[in-house]
Amino acid sequence: MRLPVYKKELEEKLVLNELPHFYDQIVTTWDKFNGFLTLKVTDIIIGEEIAFSAKILSTNAKKNHISLRFFPNVCQSSWDDENPLTSFFVRP
């Protein structure tokens, strides 16, 4: 189940009933990534600069039985005028 925002009461019910779920928020920092690891989500959407650390992210996610999601074919940057050649990009 894809959820738009975190709500503690809903999160608790989903975990209690063992329902797979994740949030429609792109994780772009280590702080946010570690926060999502503490939740019992099944997937984390990764983007922008933190995605360059995909191997480390993947190792940590697998320890928590979490899958990572990326957006292929999109140069990702938090700046509109960023050079796409230096932005994170997944090639399918």
Q: pLDDT tens digit string along 32-59?
A: 999 999 988 999 999 888 888 999 999 9
22 or 71: which leads in pLDDT: 22
pLDDT > 70? residue 77? no
- Distance between CA atoms of 75 and 33, rounded to whole angstroms? 20
Quick one: which H or E segment has residue 67? strand 67-69
pLDDT of residue 16: 93
Mean pLDDT of the chain: 84
pLDDT of residue 31: 95
Quick one: which H or E segment has residue 45? strand 43-46
pLDDT of residue 71: 75
State the pTM of this model.
Answer: 0.78
